[in-house]
Structure 1
Amino acid sequence: MPDLLSAPFLISAAVACIAGMVRGFAGFGAAMLMTPIFSALYGPAVGVALCLLLEIAVALPLVPRVLPLVDWRRIGLLLLAAAVGVPFGNMVLTAVEPEPMRWAISAIILGAVAMLASGWRFSGRPNAATTLAAGASSGFLNGLSGMAGPPIAFYYLAGNDPAAKVRANLTTYFVFVDLIALTAFASRDLIGWSTGVQGLFLAPAVMLGGIVGERLFPLASEAFYRRLALLLLVGVAVGSLVI
């Protein structure tokens, strides 16, 4: 059982609650806040695994309400590709020096943000190849850093779907892709009993934050949602340098 009054646990609980609010509002972005801090407190492998556990916990109360807006065909293609990408990212996490990967991830995300900020959008619906590429890159990043969000957020924000539908698809997608990543971690014995217990005790904090964020979502305009999403992506790019 974790020491509930220790500084690391209290910091983790506060970060989890704030991350839950971000996830509940935007549909993504929780890992951006949790992964760097959890990795600093507990080490990269434990930090990423703990982040994945809490990402699933925060989504559980949110998913039932968004299911009617989910495009299951696109989610299925994304998850199919992500299932291929996750093991590769997981292998890189334990086999490759992280510094070059951090800079590469940051540069890619910032480039995507610049494209979105310029007003670029998909003309029509993304095709199957684009969908599979987004899913594979998302899965790779999830296995590597617990941050599956940037490619999928870019994929949806570059379209013309309303904010409510974007958020619904993001919320649902991340539940399944995090389960895939956790399976990859467990198969390589990277999730110990203590990590699971830690996640169990932190779950109420992240779930509470998620509910608060969900209540705030209807108060925001479409323009505000997209601006916040871009700011979150910039935060991911900067945060990837300190994971």
Structure 2
Amino acid sequence: MAAFVAAFVRGLAGFGMAILLVPLIGLVIRPGEAVVVSNMLGLLIGLVGARKVWNVGEKSAGVIGGLAMLMTPLGLLALFATPPAVARVVIAAVAIAAFLLVLLPAKPGHAPGGVETGLTGVAAGLLTGFAGMPGPPVVPYYLRRPIPREVARASMFTVFLLTSTASTAAALALGLASWRDAVFALLLFGPVLIGNHLGGLAFGKVSDALWRGFVGLLLGVSGLLALVRLFG
């Protein structure tokens, strides 16, 4: 059920699956394994409609995603070198930070330069490896600008596909992923596929203002949920 809901949110908002899923399954399995499973799911669902997403999104998504791919292995190594209790705290803090970043005032007419784009890619890669959450730097990068929501959503999808690919490949190459992680991801893929499809249908029926409001609400709820789960 958690996988279905998280995937529905992804299909509607353009992100959020990892933010919702990692803190939850990280309480059942080790945080490192939860991140690996989440990134495997991100890769599988990201391949669905990948060509269409690439054509709609900004070219900046390729730059951010490429840099993130280079940094993801470093974040993954840091995760597996961190005690599980500390990792859970950091992952919860990342979810809260995502909400706070989106609350910052929008920048009408702002066009990010090379430095901002590069830093977004680096941060996305490190957070992909450590928390399975490239969203905190990527979501504000696109949502705080007056671009069409279809472009913002497609751009985020592109970045997340690239980061999921890098994280999965790095986990396999470094011996940090096991066959059990792959089986777990495959078992969850059915609910994820259905939830993502239904979320995509809902995306086409909501207004831009409602969509952006939902994105902010999602980040706030996910951060609160992570804290409740952490201390409860």
Question: TM-score normalized by structure 1?
Answer: 0.85
- Alignment counterpart, residue 190 of structure 1, candidates 170, 176, 187: 176
Equivalent runs, 1:1-243 vs 2, <5 Å: 14-72=1-59, 74-96=60-82, 97-98=86-87, 101-102=90-91, 104-106=93-95, 108-115=97-104, 119-121=105-107, 123-241=109-227, 242=229
Tell me: CA distance 1:54–1:93, structure 2 relative to 1, closer, same or farther (3 Å): same
In the alignment, the residues of structure 2 paired with residue 151 and residue 161 of structure 1 have an alpha-carbon distance, to the nearest angstrom, of 17
- The more displaced of 128-137 and 179-188 is 179-188
> What secondary structure does 2:27 align onto?
helix
CA distance in 1, matches of 2:31, 2:174: 15
Letter of the 2:25 partner, please give it: F
**Sequence identity percentage:** 27
Residues 127-146 of structure 1, C-alpha deviations (whole Å, 9 max, x = no match): 11111111111111110111
Name the residue aligned to 1:4.
none
SS of 1:42 mapped into structure 2: coil
Is the 1:141–1:147 contact (alpha carbons within 8 Å) kept by the matching residues of 2? yes
C-alpha change, 1:190 and 1:81, in structure 2 (3 Å) is same
Take 1:91 and 1:122, find their aligned partners in 2: how far apart are those partners?
Answer: 38
Aligned residues: 226
For 2:206 and 2:14, the matched residues in 1 are separated by 13
Q: Which amino acid aligns with 1:213?
A: G
Query: Relative to structure 1, is the Cα distance of residues 103 and 206 closer, same or farther in structure 2, using a 3 angstrom cutoff?
Result: closer
Please report how far the alpha carbon of residue 99 of structure 1 lies from its aligned counterpart in structure 2 after TM superposition.
Answer: 6.0
Deviation at 1:77, TM superposition (A): 1.5
Contact 2:69 2:162 in 1 (8 A): no
**Residue by residue, what CA displacement relative to the aligned partner does 1:198-239 show, whole Å, maximum 9, x if unpaired?**
211221110111111111111010101111111122234335
CA deviations 1:33-89 (Å, max 9, x no partner) are 2111211112111111111111222233243443331223x1222023212331222
Give the TM-score of the pair, scaled to structure 2: 0.88
Cα RMSD over matched residues? 2.0
Post-superposition offset of 1:103:
6.4
Question: d(CA) in 2 for partners of 1:70 and 1:168?
Answer: 5
State the distance in 1 between where 2:6 and 2:88 align: 25
The residue type equivalent to 1:40 in the other structure is L
Contact kept, 8 Å, 1:78 with 1:135, in 2: the verdict is yes
SS at match of 2:110: coil
Provide structure 2 residue ranges, at least 5 long, that are not aligned to the other structure: none
Corresponding letter in the other structure for 1:78: I
Q: Label 1:55 to 1:123 Cα distance change in 2 as closer, same or farther (>3 A).
A: same
What letter corresponds to residue 18 of structure 2 in structure 1?
A
